[in-house]
Every structure is written in structure tokens, then in C-alpha cells.
């Protein structure tokens, strides 16, 4: 019996550990990995899943996913009454999106029952981030990566991701695990800081070579948040910040293409914000260097105005693509949710985020006192990914795509499970 339980646990953990690898290999393998993990978990631990006691966070996510079905029904009825047919894309994507609810509860249960090995997961994430970074370096130095892939755009290196320019986003998330490896955490304070700064600087170079500017900003932000929250390291903030500034300056200077991109970063951001308050797309055409033609600007404009068609319920998941002149997604999670799930859908997500932040940061006995006692150092990568993923002032991929949704609901499941196990959860 024990051997069977060990075999079951091994199969589950292999699939779990394969997750960061599958993200490199593409959406097909990521979806297959999620489906296999959910299938075997349901097959091996169905009784534990049924008996799993849900908490307030689980209930909020249940409400969110049931709400997506309600949104689908409302839009289907509206389309029928108007003599139109609801897009098949909206119907299919809404139903397929339910797999992330199953995925979330599977991860929650497996962690709660101490079946998943999060330490091994951190090691695999670190190894995958190191591989992607080295592969980018090879592509930069020799013009091809280890698979013979050439850069899809001049000055932008994607490594193993091929034509998909998401290497920077991958490093921004999974490189964080390298900063909190056990052998680093056990070092003396100054040696620990030295190791972390060196590792941080190496990955900064990799992200810069990828050409993903927002990933660079979020990676630096993650490290600064960690320094501010760690009481022991906080006193070295000025020194560490100075080193980060020098590393960034050096990397930007030697990479002229990225330097030019960073110079336009502020200008693009300014026009994106201006777009939110633009009533007519024609007004944007008056801006210099044809700003209105930039896809991000047009898509932000589309999101704010497609939202007005159904402000309460939205148009349904992936409905944004069905609107005239709207091509992919709004490049911001909040705008996308607002457009596709309306004010109600956005409110549910915001309630979840604020409640999770409250549990981590604020104790009822000492209001407004920032404290991370509810998480230890090895938990911090999940927390930092959560913070940066839901950072409002950033451009993003689509909330409902495989790559983003799988990471988001995995991190939420792990983070909720970790803080739920701490004594101060019910304080």
C-alpha cells in the first residue's frame, strides 16, 4: 500500500515539476501537462479532493468562474434576442477556461495534503531559468542558440522560445527562484547579499537581451520589494540599489538597440495613459509619429470603449477579439477583465487580490504594520510573482491565454495554500 502511494506521489510530482519545462516547449505541452496532472490527481486522490475544506479565497475564485458562465449565458441571451449569433470563440474559450478552476483546486489539495514537493519545484524553476538565460547568451554571442534558432528580430534574443518574444517574461518570473535557493539562504548575511546581487545581475543581462522592457522593470521591482521587506537586508538598500543602477546602466550602454527602446518607453507609456481618456480614436491621429498606429495604443482604446457596450457583465471571455478594429487583447489584465467580464468580474478579482494582500501584510492586532511572518524566504518567489503579475501599471499578455492563466492560477493556489498553513492566518 505504501509503495502504491509512493508511486502515485512520484507520478504527480514528475508532472508538477515538468510545468516550468512545458512553458518553454509551448502551449500544447503546457495544456497536456495540466490535463494529465489534473487527471491523475483526480484518479489517485479523488476522496481527498472531495473532502477538501475550502476557505474564503477558494470561495471567491469559485464565484469568479461561475460568474464567467453567467456572463456567457447573459451574452448568449442578448445575442439571441437581437437576432444575432454569439461568437463560437467566446463560448469555447469560456468553457475551456474552467480547466483552470480544476487545476487550482488540484494544486490546493495536493499542497494541503503535503503531496507536492515545492523545494524541488523551486530547483527546477531555477534550472529552467538558468537554461533560458544561457541559451540567450549563446544566441547573442554566436547568432544561434543551442537549437540553431536565430533571433527573430534584430537586437532581440528569444532563445528556445523561437519567434515568441516571451523569454524576458519567463526570466522575470522564474529567475526569482534562483535568489532564494537553500544554499544561498544559509550563507552569512553579506555573502547571501553578494550571491543574490550577482545572480540578479546575470539575469538582468539576459532580460535586456530579450528586449522585453516591462519584464526588466518588473524584475527590478521584484528585487526592490524583497529588499524593502527583508529587515536584515533593508539597511543595505542604498548600496544594493547603487549596484543595480550601475549594472543597468552598463547593460543599457553596451546594448544600443535596447537603449533606444528604453528611451521610447516613457513616451509610449504616456500615450497609453492618454488613450484611456480619449473619446475618439481620430484624436489620436493628431499625435506625432503616428502614435495611434501602434497596436498597444489602439487596443487600449478598444478596451475602454468595448467595455461601454456591456459595462456590468462584459462581452464574455475573448469577446474583445470579436469587436471591430480590436485585434488581440488590451495588453493589461484589468482592462481585459473589465472589457470581457465587466465591472462585476473585475470587482471579484479585486476583492480576491486585496484580501490576499491583507492576509499577508496586515495583522488585525497591529493594523497597517507590514510584516511577512506569514511567509518564509522560500515562499517569497510566489509572492513576488503574484505582486508583479497583478501590478496595475504594466502591459501584459492576455489573462486568459494558456501561458499566463496557468502561471497565475498555479501561483494563486500555492500562495493561498502557504499562507493558510501559517498560524497567523486566523489571528
Angle (deg, nearest 10), helices 56-81 and 333-361: 160
d(CA 159, CA 147): 8
Across the chain, which has 427 residues, the per-10-residue mean pLDDT values are 84 96 95 96 87 90 95 89 83 93 95 91 96 95 92 87 91 94 82 88 90 88 86 79 77 63 56 56 51 57 72 84 67 87 94 89 45 64 93 85 93 90 50
Residue 187: which residues within 8 A CB-CB, separation 6 or more?
195
Residue 137 resides in a domain: yes
- Exposed, middle or buried: residue 127 (CB in 10 Å: 0-12, 13-18, 19+)? middle
Helix (H) or strand (E) holding 254: helix 237-254
Contact 164, 158 (CB under 8 A): yes
Residue 167 resides in a domain: yes
pTM of the model: 0.87
Residue 231 resides in a domain: yes
Residue 425 resides in a domain: no
Residue 26 resides in a domain: no
Residue 191: which residues within 8 A CB-CB, separation 6 or more?
none
Residue 190 resides in a domain: yes
What's residue 296's pLDDT?
61
What's residue 127's pLDDT?
96
**Nearest 5°: CA angle at 218, between 233 and 180?**
40
What's residue 39's pLDDT?
95
- Exposed, middle or buried: residue 163 (CB in 10 Å: 0-12, 13-18, 19+)? exposed
Tally the domains of the chain.
Answer: 1
Residue 234 resides in a domain: yes
> Domain span at residue 221?
117-254
H-only helix segments in 82-212: 88-96, 99-112, 118-142, 167-174, 182-185, 189-210
C-alpha cell at 258: 535596447
Q: Report helix, strand or coil for 286.
A: coil
Residue 359 resides in a domain: no
Of 228, 194, 204, 185, give the one whose Cα is nearest residue 387.
228
Amino acid at each position: 500500500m505504501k509503495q502504491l502511494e509512493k508511486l502515485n506521489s512520484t507520478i504527480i510530482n514528475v508532472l508538477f515539476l515538468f510545468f516550468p519545462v512545458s512553458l518553454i516547449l509551448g502551449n500544447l505541452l503546457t495544456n497536456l501537462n495540466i490535463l494529465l496532472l489534473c487527471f491523475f490527481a483526480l484518479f489517485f486522490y479523488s476522496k481527498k479532493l472531495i473532502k477538501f475544506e475550502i476557505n474564503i479565497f477558494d470561495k471567491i475564485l469559485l464565484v469568479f468562474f461561475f460568474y464567467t458562465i453567467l456572463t456567457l449565458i447573459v451574452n448568449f441571451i442578448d445575442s439571441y434576442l437581437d437576432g444575432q449569433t454569439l461568437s463560437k470563440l467566446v463560448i469555447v474559450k469560456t468553457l475551456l477556461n474552467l480547466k483552470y478552476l480544476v487545476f487550482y483546486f488540484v494544486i490546493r489539495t495536493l499542497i494541503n495534503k503535503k503531496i507536492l514537493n515545492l523545494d524541488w519545484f523551486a530547483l527546477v524553476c531555477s534550472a529552467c531559468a538558468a537554461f533560458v538565460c544561457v541559451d540567450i547568451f549563446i544566441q547573442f554571442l554566436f547568432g544561434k542558440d543551442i537549437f540553431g534558432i536565430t533571433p527573430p528580430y534584430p537586437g532581440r534574443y528569444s532563445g528556445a522560445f523561437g519567434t515568441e518574444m516571451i523569454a524576458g517574461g519567463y526570466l522575470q518570473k522564474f529567475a526569482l527562484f534562483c535568489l532564494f535557493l537553500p544554499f544561498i539562504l544559509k550563507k552569512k548575511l553579506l555573502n547571501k547579499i553578494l550571491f543574490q546581487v550577482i545572480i540578479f545581475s546575470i539575469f538582468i543581462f539576459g532580460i535586456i537581451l530579450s528586449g522585453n522592457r516591462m519584464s526588466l522593470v518588473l524584475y527590478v521591482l521584484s528585487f526592490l520589494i524583497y529588499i524593502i521587506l527583508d529587515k536584515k537586508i533593508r539597511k543595505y538598500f542604498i548600496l544594493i540599489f547603487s549596484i543595480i543602477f550601475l549594472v543597468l546602466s552598463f547593460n543599457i550602454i553596451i546594448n544600443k538597440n535596447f537603449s533606444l527602446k528604453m528611451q521610447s518607453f516613457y513616451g509610449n507609456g504616456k500615450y497609453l495613459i492618454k488613450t484611456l481618456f480619449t473619446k475618439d480614436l481620430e484624436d489620436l491621429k493628431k499625435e506625432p509619429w503616428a502614435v495611434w498606429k501602434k497596436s498597444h495604443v489602439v487596443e487600449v482604446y478598444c478596451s475602454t470603449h468595448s467595455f461601454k457596450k456591456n459595462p456590468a457583465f462584459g462581452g464574455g471571455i475573448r469577446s474583445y477579439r470579436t469587436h471591430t478594429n480590436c485585434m488581440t487583447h488590451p495588453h493589461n489584465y484589468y482592462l481585459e477583465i473589465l472589457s470581457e467580464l465587466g465591472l462585476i468580474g473585475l470587482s471579484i478579482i479585486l476583492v480576491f487580490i486585496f484580501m490576499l494582500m491583507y492576509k499577508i501584510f496586515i495583522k488585525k492586532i497591529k493594523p497597517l504594520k507590514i510584516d511577512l511572518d506569514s511567509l518564509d524566504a522560500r515562499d517569497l518567489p510566489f509572492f513576488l510573482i503574484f505582486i508583479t503579475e497583478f501590478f496595475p501599471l504594466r502591459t501584459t499578455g492576455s489573462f486568459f491565454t494558456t501561458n499566463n492563466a496557468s502561471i497565475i492560477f498555479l501561483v494563486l493556489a500555492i500562495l493561498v495554500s502557504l499562507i493558510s498553513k501559517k498560524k497567523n492566518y486566523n489571528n
